[in-house]
Amino acid sequence: MRVNHDIDALFNWSEWPDGLKSPDGLDNPGFQSLKVAAIDALASSELDWKIHLTRAMAYQWCSGSLGIGAGIDRKPPDRPGRPDKPALVAPTRLKKRSIRSQRGRIALLHAIAHIELNAIDLALDIIARFAHPGMDSPGRRNSPPMPRSFFDGWVRVALEEAKHFSLLRQRLSQLDAEYGDLDAHDGLWEAAQSTGHDLTARLAVVPLILEARGLDITPSLLVQIREVGDVESAEIFEIIYRDEQGHVAVGAKWFRFLCLRAGLDPAATFQSLVRRHFRGALKPPFNDMARARAGLTPGFYRALSSAGT
């Protein structure tokens, strides 16, 4: 069993909102396995319960009380559990507002909260869907299982996304709003669905495209938020930006691992999978330094850019 300071380092309790700064209750419910815990959290449509299940999964996994559960014959849901609100609409129907007004900042926080909720579910889906050996790529069904450290990484990602979502919900509440007040879109989940059969492709699309995009846009958002004096929101975005670099690094590490295990060139494989599974070109500007720190070098993505460089 791992010692408690490992759990403290994983959770970083002081960064959580009030009411979530301790491990109280995280030994319940008792899960059958990591895979089952991820499926239960993924399927939950009640947001507080989804967050609790994600935290409990991370706590029990880090405590050493859960096995992976690869042999358990239970599949993740095709779609994650969701509350009745927000309404999901086409991205073109979402209004753009200036963050210089409180309404505009609420809209921004709501949009990012929706992204973080999807990110929780995408991390849970990776744990649940790819716990079974031989799911790293079509045509290689007899490949060995992923190492335990693979699941360590994605448990951390799911937990940190849950922290981000919780912080954003708290901040919305402080501004007399709540998640669900505004419409949202389903683009992130839809973008990942063509890769449910192929872990290598899922890693290319989710951490190395969708999450990496956050590294590009967050620094400028931070500047704008600080300019309007919203210190509380800026502090949340700083946490998100720091953690997301780690999430991209988890994706890049295991993408390279799978490519090298299969004897494939990582950059060329990334470009091929993106062209197959992601609609549209990658849009500059790119935060090359932050991407490189996470292990995603320009040779991966520049050839896919709408600018062509």
Cα dist from 68 to 32, 143, 158, whole Å? 9, 17, 15
Residue 196 maps to a domain: yes
pLDDT at 139: 45
pLDDT at 4: 64
Residue 105 maps to a domain: yes
Single pTM value for the model: 0.94
| Residue 191 domain boundaries | 89-304
CA distance linking residue 183 with residue 45, whole number of Å: 17
**In sequence order, what are the beta bridge partners of 305?**
282
End-to-end CA distance of the chain: 49
Residue 167 maps to a domain: yes
For residues 200 and 130, the answer to whether their CB atoms sit within 8 Å is no
Confidence band (pLDDT; 50, 70, 90) for 96?
confident
Residue 21 maps to a domain: no
Domain count across the chain: 1
For residues 70 and 145, the answer to whether their CB atoms sit within 8 Å is yes
Cβ neighbours, 10 Å, residue 90? 10
Residue 298 maps to a domain: yes
For residues 47 and 83, the answer to whether their CB atoms sit within 8 Å is yes
CATH code for the domain in which residue 162 is found = 1.20.1260.10
Mean pLDDT, the chain, whole residue set: 92
Residue 181 maps to a domain: yes
Residue 219 maps to a domain: yes
pLDDT at 301: 95
Give per-residue pLDDT as tens, 108-167.
999 999 999 999 999 999 999 998 766 555 545 567 889 999 999 999 999 999 999 999
Average the pLDDT over each of 58-67, 114-123, 183-192, 280-289 and give the range with the smallest value: 183-192
Residue 2 maps to a domain: no
Residue 309 has pLDDT above 80, yes or no: no
Please provide residue 31's backbone torsions phi and psi, each rounded to the nearest 5 degrees: -95, 150
